[in-house]
Amino acid sequence: MRYATLAVGAVLGVLGGRGSAAGPQPVATPAIDANLPDCGIQKTIDVVAAAGGGVVRLPAGRFVLRRYLYLRSGVTLEGRGAATVLRLGGPEHRAAVAGAVASGSRRIAVTGDLRSLRPGDIVHVWRNGPATHQAHLKAMTVAAVDRRAITFTEPYPYKLPAASKAHVSWGKVTRLAADAAKGARSVRVEHARLLRPGEALFFSGKGDMWNHHFNVAAAVNGDTLALDRPLTVNAKKGVPVYLGHCAITADGEKHVGVEDLAVEGWAGPPPPWGGFRLAAIHTVRCSGIAIRSVTVRNWPADGFSIQAGKDLLVTGCTASGCRGHGFHPGTGFTNAEFTKLRSIGNGGDGLYYCWHNVNVNVRDCLLRGNAGHGIGGLGNPGDRKNLIERNTIERNGRAGIAVNGGKVSENVIRRNVIRDNSAEKPGKYPGVWLHAAAEDARAFTVEHNTIASTLDKPTQWVGVREQNGSYRGKPTTADENVIRGNTFRGHKEADVVAVGPKTVVDQPGAKVVRPASPAPR
C-alpha cells in the first residue's frame, strides 16, 4: 500500500510568515473599543496588512464580537493565551415549546418571556436533532403573540414531539424585502432595527461557493443596509437574513495565522446549528495557514472549518462543546497537519473529513465523547492519501473512525488507540467502520492499532467492520482493504467483520467473521 504524508516541518516550510524563517514580524496592538462590533480590532488588521503583514497582538481581556474578524494576507492574530477571549455577541431570545405540536399547526404554546416579540417579527422554530442537520429549522412570521403562545401567518410544516425539546428563537433573523443582485452594495430587509452599523449578517443565494454570502452592515438607513463589500450571490425577496458570524474568517488570503487565544460561544442550549460556514474559525480558498494553541468552546456551529485551500498547520488546539464538528477540513483541501488536538464533547464528529482531502493528516490527538464519530467522513469521494496516526479515539457516540467511501483511497489508519465507542447505541457502531456508503470503500490500510472494548457494559461490540452499501440505488462494496497487526480486546461480537473477497486480514488469534451475505445495520 502506497501513501504519502507531509511532515510538520514540511508544512511549516511552506506557510511563510510566523511559520517560516522569515525573521521577526512587525507587531501592532489594537486600541480596543468595546462599543464597536469588532472591538476596534479589524482596523489594525487592515493597517498591518497594508504595510506588508505582521502580527496583530491582542491584550488580555474578553472581547465581545458582533461581527467577524477578517484576516488578510500576511497577518497573524495573536493573543495572550487563555487570558484573551473572543466572545460571541449575546444570544437571541428563546422560549421552550410547551408540549407536542402537530404538523400544520399555526399556533405554538411556549414557556418563556415573549414581551420582546411583536407581530411581523420572524421566529425560528427548531428542535434538537442530529448536529449535522438543520433540525427542522424554519423561519416563521408572527401573526399574533400573547403571554403563552405564538400564532403564525402560515402553518408550521413539521411535527414537534414533546421529546424533541423544541425551542423558538427570535431577534437574529429577518428577511430580504426585495431581490438582491450579485455585485450590489446594499440590500433591503424587513427588520432593519435588528442590525446596527458594523454588525454581520449572512444569507443564501445563487452564485458563490455553497450558495452562501456573508457581509457587514456598513450603514443602516430605514430598511436599507449599505454593505461592506459587494454581493457575491443573487438572492430572492423573502430569503431569511441571519444576524450571525464566524469569530475569525478569511477567503482567498495567503500566509495567515491565529495563535494563543480562546473563542467562546455561550453555555446552555445552543441556537440552530450554523454549520461549517459559521464556524468559530472558518477559512475558504486560503493557503499557508497556521493555527496554534487556540481553544474554541461552546460555539453554535463547527469549531474549526478549513475549506478549499492548501498548506495548513493546526496544532495544540482544543474544540469542546461546539454544536457541530470540532474540526472540519474539506472542499478540496491539500497538505495539512492536524496535530496534538483535543476534540471533546462536540455535537458532531470530533474531526470530519469533507470531500477531496489529500495529504490531510491527523496525529497525536485526543477525540473523546463527541456525539458523532470520533473521526468521520474519511474516504468521502476524493479523500486520498490521508494518515490517521497515534490518536486516542474513545467514547464517541458513533464509530471511532467512520469511512464512507474511497475507491482508490490509499488512506492509512495506524497506531491509534480506539476504544469504547458507539456510546449512542451499544453495538451499532464499530471501532473502525469501513462503510461503502457514498461510493466503494477500497485501498484502506488499518494496521498496528489497539482497538478495545473495556467497559463493564460494552458499547463497542466490533473492532473493525467492513460493510457494503448502496448510493442512489446502485450497490457499493467494501473490498481490497488491508487489516493487519492490530491488537484487539473485549469485543463481544467480533474483532473483524470482513465482507470483501480481496480484503487481506492478517490477524492471528483475532475473532474474524466473513459473512456470506452481510445484513445491513
Give the H/E segment covering residue 401. Answer: strand 401-403
* CA atoms of 265 and 278, how far apart (whole Å): 12
Whether residue 339 is predicted with pLDDT greater than 90 in this model: the reply is yes
Residue that the C-alpha cell 472494548 belongs to: 453
CA 242 to the chain's CA centroid: 18
Contact partners, residue 341, CB within 8 Å, separation at least 6: 314, 315, 316, 317, 318, 319, 326, 327, 351, 362, 365, 366, 367
Q: Sorting pLDDT into bands at 50, 70 and 90, what band is 20?
A: very low
Provide the 3-class DSSP secondary structure of residue 229: coil
What does DSSP assign to residue 211?
G
Average pLDDT estimate for 498-517: 93
C-alpha cell read off for 271: 441556537
> Which of 167-171, 475-479, 508-512 bottoms out in mean pLDDT, i.e. has the lowest?
167-171
For residue 464, count other CB atoms closer than 10 A to its CB.
31
- What are the angstrom distances between the C-alpha of 14 and each of 208, 307, 384, 426? 28, 18, 21, 44
Q: Which of 450, 465, 456, 314 is nearest to 394 (CA)?
A: 450
> pTM of the prediction?
0.91
Evaluate whether the domain defined by 8-27+78-90+252-266+283-513 bears CATH number 2.130.10.10: no
Residue at 51: amino acid letter? A
- The C-alpha cell that represents 414 in the structure block: 495506524
Q: Which of 416, 399, 312, 419 is nearest to 350 (CA)?
A: 399
Those residues with Cβ within 8 angstroms of residue 76's Cβ, 6 or more apart along the chain or in another chain: 17, 18, 25, 54, 55, 56, 256, 257, 258, 259, 290
Task: End-to-end CA distance of the chain: give it in Å, rounded.
Answer: 29
Question: Taking 90 as the threshold, does the pLDDT of residue 56 lie above it?
Answer: yes
Bridge partner residues of 162 (DSSP): none
Write phi, then psi, for 439 (nearest 5 degrees): -165, 180
- Please write the tens of the pLDDT for every residue from 402-438: 999 998 899 999 999 999 999 999 999 999 999 999 9
Q: What are 443-467's pLDDT values in tens digits?
A: 999 999 999 999 999 999 999 999 9
The per-residue pLDDT of the chain, averaged, comes to: 90
| Rounded Cα distance, 452 and 435, in Å | 20
Just give the CATH number of 93-170: 2.40.30
Any idea where the domains of the chain sit in the sequence?
8-27+78-90+252-266+283-513, 93-170, 174-242
Beta bridge partners of 408: none
The rounded distance, in Å, linking the Cα atoms of 311 and 333 is: 8
pLDDT at 163: 81
Query: At residue 43, does pLDDT exceed 90?
Result: yes
Distance CA 71, CA 69 (A): 6
At 477 the pLDDT is 96
Mean per-residue pLDDT for 384-411?
96
Q: Across the strands, what pairs with 262?
A: 85, 295
